[in-house]
A and B are shown apart, each in its own frame.
Chain A
Amino acid sequence: MERLTLTVTELNERIKGLLELDPLLGDVCVRGELSNYKIYPSGHHYFTLKDSESSLSCVMFRSNASKLRFRPESGMGVTAFGRVTVYPRDGKYQLYCSALIPEGTGDLQIAFEQLKEKLSKEGLFDEGHKKPLPRFPRRIAIITSSAGAAVHDMIRILGHRWPMAEVALLPVRVQGAEAPPEIVGAIRYANEFHVGDVIITGRGGGSIEDLWAFNDERVARAIYESEIPVISAVGHEPDVTIADYVADRRASTPSNAAEIAVPDWREMEALLQNLDARASQAVVGRLKRLSERLEALRAKRVLTDPAAHLDNRRIELDRMRDRLLAAQEGVLAKGKQRYVGLAASLDAMSPLRVLARGYAIAEKADGRAVRSVRDLAAGDRLRLRLADGRAQVLVETTAEGENNG
């Protein structure tokens, strides 16, 4: 058998056809509260009708909207007339509203606004009245239902973050007519016996009716009067109750309340480590500086040996003497060296030394040494001086010229 495949348009048209077959949906009368009411420049009105459980998209075209005899606003209770059909482009069904009748107004919403206004005027929400939360609560009083996810979420998160804090649960009903007096009783009881140093009161999410106990004036006043700081923890993030306004701290959810109530031990451990490091560093630095000073002092012997400077003087003196002696010796040595040198030169130049090598000096009768043949003539008498004696000689002939040989 071949499977029938539809386009999206065909499917939406088919659903639209089905809805339009229902006679009731073609002409329906529905009661609810207006929310998200918007008037577009085109003149069409778009809004949502809702009750505690459900919501319904609505549109009212300009032609019908222009006939309205009141100004619709979010929060109003109304009865809407129209037909329900599919808007094929979005695949959504909605109410095409032809008329709206105000029906009193959303009772709960009005009551909420009135109470909020009244308590605000009385100063119950004043920041100045809000008490600081303890940083490290030793015991946390939780006022909520002992059944349900909220209490378990809170206990789990508290245990995970700060197991040192004890948790004391004061079980109460959190919805229904009995809820407000029970919550009030528990808050007062917690104060009377000081069962904790911070209170968390609240419940998990629900409709505005479910959360109503936390919009109760008696509950608001009990929170205000509590000596123990109170964290409100009602519903989900967007839910705001009177208890939230009056509490010392508003948590967006019960889990968030647990996070607000206690620190995280991991952060504390890091803080302790930091303190440890700082203390060690301070002490080690101190000791290091002191030991450096000690070393510097130790280097100065004058402190440990008062005679040391005299010794030093003595040593200095000895050194001076040594230098003096050395200088003196140097001078003498130099003088001696010079004398020896001179003596050697004198000796080398002595004529006696020349004669010793086999030379002789010829001298005339007047004692002058003969240096040239021209000073001589045959028949001159000369005296020869030799190394070991002298002799008288007679010149026979003379002849000029070098080395007449």
Chain B
Amino acid sequence: MAKNKLTFEQSLARLDEIVRHLEKGDLPLSESMALFEEGTGLLSACGKMLDEAEQKVVKLRKGPDRAPVELPFEDET
């Protein structure tokens, strides 16, 4: 559950950790394979994040309770 909610940064950090573990090669094989599987999942998730990212631009206005309200950003040039 939490895995799907990792940010790109967290995913990258976890990936880095996994690769280091795998490269050390001191884990039991079953754990290595589980890590590898996790890494593959993270890689494809990161790739997907990169591929599917679409920039979102908003303009913030102070709402009635002072909290920010998002407005679409229009070209004002």
A residues bordering B, Cβ < 8 Å? 134-136, 138, 141, 146-149, 152, 155, 158-159, 162-171, 189, 193, 195, 265, 268-269, 271-272, 275-276, 278-279, 282-283, 285-287, 290
Contact A279 B19 (CB under 8 A): yes
Tell me, yes or no, whether B56 is within 8 Å of chain A by CB: yes
- Contacts A193-B67, A272-B43, A290-B29 hold; do A164 and B53 have CB atoms under 8 A apart? yes
Contact A147 B77 (CB under 8 A): yes
Identity of the chain B residue whose Cβ is nearest the Cβ of A276 in the assembled complex: B43
B residues bordering A, Cβ < 8 Å? 7-9, 12, 15-16, 18-19, 22-23, 25, 29, 32-33, 36, 39-40, 43, 46-47, 49-50, 53-60, 62, 67-68, 70, 73, 75-77
- Contacts A283-B33, A286-B25 hold; do A169 and B53 have CB atoms under 8 A apart? no
Point out the residues of chain B lying under 8 angstroms from A269, CB to CB.
47, 50
Bound together, the chains give a CA A88 to CA B35 distance in angstroms of 78
A119 nearest CB across to chain B (Å): 29
Point out the residues of chain A lying under 8 angstroms from B15, CB to CB.
272, 275, 279
Given contacts A163-B53, A286-B25, 16 further A-B contacts (CB under 8 A): A135-B9, A136-B8, A152-B77, A155-B73, A164-B8, A164-B50, A167-B56, A167-B73, A168-B70, A171-B59, A189-B68, A195-B68, A275-B15, A279-B39, A282-B23, A286-B29
Contact A158 B55 (CB under 8 A): yes
Bound together, the chains give a CA A335 to CA B45 distance in angstroms of 89
Contact B55 A283 (CB under 8 A): no
- Contacts A269-B47, A278-B19 hold; do A169 and B58 have CB atoms under 8 A apart? yes
- Contacts A146-B76, A152-B77, A269-B47 hold; do A193 and B68 have CB atoms under 8 A apart? yes
